[in-house]
Structure 1
Amino acid sequence: MVDVRLEPMTEDQYKPWRVEAEAHYASSVAASGRSARDAARVAADTYAQLLPDESATPGHHFWYARDGDRRVGFLWVKVTDDTAFVYNVAVEAEVRRRGYGRAIMLAAERWCREHKLIRIGLHVFAHNTGARALYERLGFTETGRNMAKDL
């Protein structure tokens, strides 16, 4: 079983991460049926709304996940009252399918418990079956479902 430590992002690390994360979100939106152009606009608008003060936006926490000296992924969480919401979690492509997604989520749970939070939530795109299966194995349950119909 792998284990990771969460290392807070510096401002210099946040800036390139933000560009990459927004692009990845746009590709997930596109994979859900939006045009690439529309998906890019949705991603830009979403990130601007969620992070008006970038990494200094109150309640938001950004970490790189490390296994020893190696960066293996990242995590973005927002805390509201006694609840955490995972806005983004990812494993670096070259180390996927080795247990790091699970390790990052377990590290997130530890951090939440240390901060006396009582619930952790997240959103997963329907097409991301691997992530959905991981979250279910970790005990997450579905609390809602978005649906769409092309016209």
Structure 2
Amino acid sequence: MSFLVPMSKPFFAPYIEELMVQYAKENVEAGRWQKSGSLSRARRDIERLLPCGLDTENHHFFEMKEPEVNETVGMVWLSLENSTTTSTVFIYDLEVKAEYRRKGYAKLALREIEDFAATHNIVNIGLHVFSHNAAAQKLYNEMGYDAVSINMVKKINQTDVYL
């Protein structure tokens, strides 16, 4: 039995609602967004990416199912992205539920994502990780992921601006 199983329609709606909340929170914590309006911005971003929700073309949603007990321990959102120069599976979300973390489920999901990529003739797996998420960065480094670009920001204190 595969660890990643297609996400059910009843599971999708609450998953995507919680994802919007977490996406807004992460962007605020990273300093990319102001708290005010962050949830509506997250909703707008995700709705733009998923105009047909669960049925959006080239987007795949999975539940991580613990094979022994058939319990959902996490979720994965992938997108197949092809261009004239390369093909990529982009991991939009890989989330292990808090009570199941540090048990190897994320590594198992990443291995199955590699299998998914191979069956779709994909040559790259990409993802974004926030700079404050050291645990995720460590995991991805252990699994062979390399940084290919780094976004940088300098906060400007308005009281320090000289007019």
TM-score by length of 1: 0.92
Residue 15 (structure 2) aligns with: 17
Matched AA of 1:77: L
Pairing of 1:107-122 with structure 2 (within 5 A): 107-122=112-127
| Residue ranges of structure 2 left out of the alignment (5+ in a row) | 157-163
| Greater RCO (Cα-Cα under 8 Å, separation 6 or more) | 1
1:142 to 126, 129, 147: 147
Q: Counterparts of 1:39 and 1:138 in 2: how far apart (Å)?
A: 31
Matched AA of 2:7: M
| Residue ranges of structure 1 left out of the alignment (5+ in a row) | none
Matched AA of 1:43: A
Instruction: Classify the secondary structure of the residue corresponding to 2:150.
Output: coil
Instruction: Classify the secondary structure of the residue corresponding to 1:36.
Output: coil
Pairing of 1:32-111 with structure 2 (within 5 A): 32-33=30-31, 34-68=33-67, 69-81=70-82, 82-111=87-116
Residue 160 (structure 2) aligns with: none
Q: Counterparts of 1:16 and 1:133 in 2: how far apart (Å)?
A: 29
- Give the C-alpha shift of residue 42 in structure 1: 2.6
- Give the C-alpha shift of residue 4 in structure 1: 6.2
Answer yes or no: is the 8 Å Cα contact 1:62–1:74 preserved in 2: yes
- Larger Rg over CA atoms: 2
Answer yes or no: is the 8 Å Cα contact 1:4–1:100 preserved in 2: no
Instruction: Classify the secondary structure of the residue corresponding to 1:107.
Output: helix
1:131 to 131, 136, 142: 136
Q: How well do the aligned residues superpose, as a CA RMSD in angstroms?
A: 1.5
Matched AA of 2:144: G
Residue 7 (structure 1) aligns with: 5
Q: Counterparts of 1:86 and 1:99 in 2: how far apart (Å)?
A: 18
Among the aligned pairs, what percent are the same residue?
A: 31
Q: Counterparts of 2:60 and 2:130 in 1: how far apart (Å)?
A: 22
Answer yes or no: is the 8 Å Cα contact 1:4–1:104 preserved in 2: no
